[in-house]
Amino acid sequence: MKKNIRKIAFIAISASLLVSCSVIRPGEIGIKQRLGKIVGKPIEQGIKFYNPFVGQIVKVNVRTVECLTRLTLPTQEGLNVQADISLLYHVQHDKANEVYLNFGQNYEEVIVLSNFRATAREISAKFAAKDLYATDRDKVEKAIYNELAADIQHFGFVIDAVLLKDIILPPQMVQAIQDKVNAEQSAMKMEFVILQQKKEAERLIIEAEAIKQAQNIINSSLTDKLLQYNNIEMLKSLMNSPNTKIIISDGKTTPFITTETK
């Protein structure tokens, strides 16, 4: 009989110990609550015992958490676009008690995501649809990050990153944006062609000026005596030619010369 009583007592004690034992794993913080009040500092990882009749240990995740959300965002033009945005955040270790006390275990929805949605809509309304879709994603991410951090960081949350993963536009808007981008690229190409033509025209002008200057130099050097000398030299070379020559001259002007081949 005594053995049975001891067994029952041992089982009861073991069961009560198991019930009053909590394992705080890596990446978690334990908050000890007694009679409805938070007691002591946040509990680090390990095995912790507590009295299950008057208290409990609440676990708070302090790892970096990713919240991927699809939102309907307004744009500067008054349009609405669908956006997949990823928010990375974590709870500060030393403020886990405050987070649980102020927002409970549903803190992510109560404070983090509600502010995130409002901030994303506020920031997107400052940008045009084509900027969200193509060129200014980094600016949008940075603006949401800074605004959200300013709103909730003092509550014990750290914003690690905001990633604008995808923007879903109506097909006609995508085509309109693509047409505009193509037109801008064509205009830039035409500007380049015009610039090339201007450079070529400048080159031709410079070349013509150089030729003109060279001709002026040659003309200035052609004196009467030089021309007479050149004529004499030419006549000498013709006299030595085997072809028949007829030289017509009045002795004053440049001779008129014809040749006949034998």
Domain ranges, residue 24:
2-61
Span 193-218, pLDDT tens digits? 888 888 888 888 888 888 888 777 77
Same domain, 113 and 209: no
pLDDT for 194 = 86
| Same domain membership, residue 204 and residue 238 | no
User: What is the per-residue pLDDT across 36-60, written as a single tens digit (0 to 9) for each?
Assistant: 677 777 777 767 666 666 667 778 8
Span 227-252, pLDDT tens digits: 666 666 766 666 666 665 555 555 55
Together in a domain, 99 and 149? yes
162 and 247 in a single domain? The answer is: no
| pLDDT (mean) for 2-15 | 52
Question: Which pLDDT score, from 0 to 100, does residue 257 have?
Answer: 54
Residues 125 and 159 in one domain: yes
Q: Quote the number of domains for the chain.
A: 4
- What is the structure's pLDDT at 223? 66
Q: What is the 3-state secondary structure (H, E, C) of 211-248?
A: HHHHHHHHHHHCCHHHHHHHHHHHHHHHHCCCCEEEEE
Based on the domain organization, do 72 and 162 belong to the same domain?
yes
pLDDT-derived band at 66 (thresholds 50, 70, 90) equals: very high
**Can you read off the two tokens belonging to residue 247?**
């030289």
State pTM to two decimals: 0.57
Is 162 found in the same domain as 69?
Answer: yes
- The reply to whether 75 and 145 lie within a common domain is yes
Give the distance from CA 102 to its chain's centroid: 37
Q: How many helices (H) and strands (E) does the chain have?
A: 8, 10
DSSP for residue 158 = E
Same domain, yes or no: 70 and 151: yes
Q: What is the pLDDT of residue 246?
A: 54
Q: What is the mean pLDDT of the chain?
A: 77
pLDDT at 116 (0 to 100): 95
4 CA to centre of own chain = 74
CA gap 172, 154 in Å, rounded: 43
- Residues 85-90 have a mean pLDDT of 94
140 and 86, same structural domain?
A: yes
Tens-place pLDDT, residues 158-177: 999 999 888 887 777 777 76
Could you read off the pLDDT of 95-120 as tens digits, one per residue? 888 888 888 888 899 999 999 999 99
